[in-house]
Amino acid sequence: MTSPSPSVSVARATLCERAVAAGPASLSDVELLAVLLTRKARGAPAWGSATRLLRTYGSLCEVARSSPHQLLSEPHLDASRVAWLLAAFELGRRVTVRLLTENRSVIGSFESVATWAHPRLAGLEHEEVWVLMLDGRNGLKSATRVAQGGVHGCALTPKDVLRPPVRDGASAFVLVHNHPSGDPTPSAEDVAMTQAVSTAADLVGVPLLDHVIVARGGATSLTEFGALG
Four-CA torsion 122, 125, 126, 130, nearest 10 degrees: -20
pLDDT of the residue at 9: 46
Residue 76 is predicted with a pLDDT of 80
Q: How far apart are CA 122 and CA 131, in angstroms?
A: 16
3-state secondary structure of 219: strand
Residues 19 and 116 in one domain: no
Q: Is residue 18 part of a domain?
A: yes
Within a domain: 54? yes
The answer to whether residues 89 and 109 belong to one domain is no
Same domain as 189, residue 124: yes
> Are 167 and 137 found together in one domain?
yes
Per-residue model confidence (pLDDT) at position 7: 45
Question: Which CATH number belongs to the domain containing residue 156 in this structure?
Answer: 3.40.140.10
Q: Are residues 128 and 213 in the same domain?
A: yes
For residues 111 and 219, state if they share a domain. yes
| pLDDT value for 6 | 38
Query: Does residue 172 lie within any of the structural domains?
Result: yes
pLDDT value of position 8? 45
Strand ranges of the sheet holding 140-148, from the earlier edge strand across to the other edge: 140-148, 128-134, 172-178, 208-215, 218-221
Report the pLDDT value the prediction gives residue 148, as an integer from 0 to 100. 87
Are 143 and 33 found together in one domain?
A: no
Within a domain: residue 154? yes
Q: Please indicate, yes or no, if residue 134 is contained in any of the structural domains.
A: yes
pTM for this prediction: 0.58
Q: Are residues 167 and 202 in the same domain?
A: yes
Q: What pLDDT was estimated at residue 131?
A: 96
Domain count of the chain?
A: 2
Quote the longest CA-to-CA distance of the chain.
Answer: 72
Question: What pLDDT, on the 0 to 100 scale, is given for residue 87?
Answer: 79
Its domain, for residue 24, covers 6-98
Residue that terminates a domain, selected from 47, 79, 98: 98
- The verdict on 55 and 129 lying in the same domain is no
**In a domain? residue 1:** no
Are β-strands 172-178 and 140-148 bridged in parallel, bridged antiparallel, or unpaired? Answer: unpaired
109 & 56 share domain: no
Are 146 and 80 within one domain?
Answer: no
pLDDT at position 64 is 86
Instruction: Note whether residue 116 is domain-resident.
Output: yes
Half-sphere exposure of 53 (CA within 13 A, CB side): 31
Answer with the one of 41, 71, 98 that is the final residue of a domain: 98
pLDDT tens, residue order, the chain (229 aa): 344 443 444 455 566 677 666 666 677 778 888 877 775 544 456 778 888 889 999 988 888 888 888 888 988 888 877 888 887 888 787 777 666 655 557 788 999 999 999 999 998 888 999 999 999 989 898 899 999 886 555 778 899 999 999 999 999 999 999 999 999 999 999 999 999 999 999 999 999 999 999 999 999 999 999 888 6
Can you give the pLDDT at residue 204? Answer: 95
193 inside domain: yes
Q: What is the pLDDT of residue 1?
A: 39
Q: How many helices (H) and strands (E) does the chain have?
A: 10, 5
Q: Measure the CA–CA gap between 63 and 85, rounded to whole angstroms.
A: 9
Q: Which of 50, 75, 98 is where one domain is finished?
A: 98
Q: Same domain, yes or no, for 113 and 218?
A: yes
Instruction: List the alpha helices (DSSP H) in 4-132.
Output: 6-22, 29-37, 46-57, 60-64, 68-72, 79-100, 110-121
